[in-house]
């Protein structure tokens, strides 16, 4: 198929006209995009579905005024201009760079098998969230988890040997797939390769094959439990977050569902990432991301006013200050002292909304967060026009893990490089 952007394509012709035949927009050299895009296969009799696409955007390193870009695409890749790039009138704005695209990873079609299917609406979660995870941190986490599981001799390796093998990853419970970067990082440290059949954020309807892992048998099994634990936990949190976001949106509420700092020590990045895949806000990542003045801070400082002034001085212009309040009077004092956010903590719904309304009427720019005692069942009762954020600790503390299994192909030896 030929898709026309700004170039000239004659219907039915095997390839677009040369630049000289199109006086409107000359095409740049193919080298203009060689460093920014992967190198796909050229059209041939063995690749009859390969098509030629043109898009009217500029290439970062070799911009040409009014130039187009010729790309060859293959099935499974998104077709179109870079996601998130500035647009004007349906076209990319002049000067929009390819680097503005949040992600250009392959998006495979739904996996369908006799034993499972993909739920309708499955797709990639958000603007390529794996970009948030520094590779060095991923590698360090994977190393620490593997060392925890095998700090000494791996006696089971003698039972399997190092024969090249392949294993299938199966999802056996419903939910949302999350945690691929951590799964990949674990097996990368063991010189194994992972091939995903479903993108991050896919809705899972069991039983469905999610991925295949290839590598030496003893290393596949060394990483098996660590990788499964991480994927199951992250997917469980994403599933709970997605459910909470869906419940809140069903009420017509326009605020944000968020997690809390109630995370597992050493596992916070996985859990916060799971919240994001599920569509929830992760709240502050650590103590340095937001100055939160809680009840014990207020007691230690000798009052709300002193605590907020001290926090405001420390935060300066770079950080916001949130104050945990247990009454309207305390919330008003916190807002007067300069709090950016007020958390109405452990309020019953019938008390929460009048308090939030009274606070907003006097301080409309203050963000109001409801927290404490919120569950998936009673979440709709906390959603209201004067509530900006509802945070739930149970998203990371009580979310059930999803069930995954990794099964080697019986009697199948894999040739190196296959």
3-class DSSP state of 308: helix
291, 322 contact by CB (below 8 A): yes
Helical segments of 265-327, H only: 268-277, 295-301, 304-315
User: How many angstroms separate the CA atoms of 329 and 147, rounded?
Assistant: 52
| Backbone CA torsion sign across 346, 351, 357, 358 | negative
12: Cβ contacts below 8 Å, ≥ 6 apart: none
61, 209, 262, 320: which is the annotated catalytic residue?
262
- Measured CA to CA, the distance from residue 137 to residue 151 in angstroms comes to 20
Catalytic site residue 61? Answer: no
Length of the chain equals 418
Which of 157, 415, 399 lies closest to 263 in space, CA to CA?
399
Instruction: Report d(CA 249, CA 240) in Å as an integer.
Output: 14
Cα gap 82→104, rounded to integer Å: 8
Residue 241 CA: distances (Å) to CA of 105, 257, 281: 24, 8, 9
User: What is the Cα–Cα distance from 145 to 390, expressed in whole angstroms?
Assistant: 32
Q: Which residues contact 378 (CB under 8 A, 6 or more apart)?
A: 349
* H-only helix segments in 70-109: none
Query: Among all residues, which ones are annotated catalytic?
Result: 262
């Amino acid at each position: 198929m030929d898709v026309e952007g700004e170039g000239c394509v004659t219907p039915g012709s095997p390839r677009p006209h040369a630049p000289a035949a199109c006086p409107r927009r000359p095409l740049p050299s193919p080298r203009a995009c060689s460093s920014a895009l992967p190198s796909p296969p050229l059209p041939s009799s063995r690749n009859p579905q390969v098509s030629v696409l043109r898009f009217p955007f500029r290439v970062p390193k070799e911009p040409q005024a009014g130039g187009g870009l010729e790309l060859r695409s293959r099935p499974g890749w998104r077709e179109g201009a870079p996601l998130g790039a500035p647009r004007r009138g349906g076209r990319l704005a002049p000067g929009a760079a390819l680097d503005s695209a949040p992600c250009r990873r392959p998006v495979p079609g739904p996996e369908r098998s006799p034993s499972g299917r993909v739920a309708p609406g499955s797709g990639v979660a958000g603007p390529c969230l794996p970009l948030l995870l520094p590779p060095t941190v991923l590698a360090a986490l994977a190393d620490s988890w593997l060392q925890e599981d095998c700090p000494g001799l791996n006696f089971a390796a003698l039972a399997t040997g190092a024969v090249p093998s392949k294993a299938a990853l199966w999802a056996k419970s419903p939910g949302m797939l999350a945690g691929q970067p951590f799964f990949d990082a674990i097996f990368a440290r063991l010189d194994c390769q992972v091939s995903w059949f479903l993108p991050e954020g896919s809705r899972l309807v069991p039983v469905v094959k999610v991925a295949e892992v290839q590598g030496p048998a003893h290393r596949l099994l060394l990483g098996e439990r660590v990788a499964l634990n991480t994927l199951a936990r992250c997917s469980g949190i994403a599933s709970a977050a997605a459910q909470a976001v869906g419940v809140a949106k069903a009420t017509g509420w326009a605020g944000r569902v968020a997690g809390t700092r109630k995370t597992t020590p050493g596992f916070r990045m996985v859990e916060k990432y799971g919240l994001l895949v599920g569509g929830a806000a992760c709240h502050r990542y650590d103590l340095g991301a937001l100055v939160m003045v809680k009840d014990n801070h207020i007691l230690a400082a000798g009052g709300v006013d002193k605590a907020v002034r001290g926090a405001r001085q420390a935060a300066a212009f770079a950080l916001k200050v949130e104050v945990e309040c247990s009454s309207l009077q305390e919330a008003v004092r916190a807002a007067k002292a300069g709090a950016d956010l007020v958390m109405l903590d452990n309020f019953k719904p019938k008390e929460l909304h009048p308090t939030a309304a009274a606070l907003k009427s006097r301080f409309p720019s203050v963000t109001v967060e409801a927290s404490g005692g919120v569950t998936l069942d009673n979440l709709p009762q906390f959603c209201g026009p004067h509530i900006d954020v509802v945070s739930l600790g149970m998203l990371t503390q009580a979310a059930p893990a999803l069930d995954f299994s990794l099964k080697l192909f019986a009697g199948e030896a894999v040739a190196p490089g296959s």
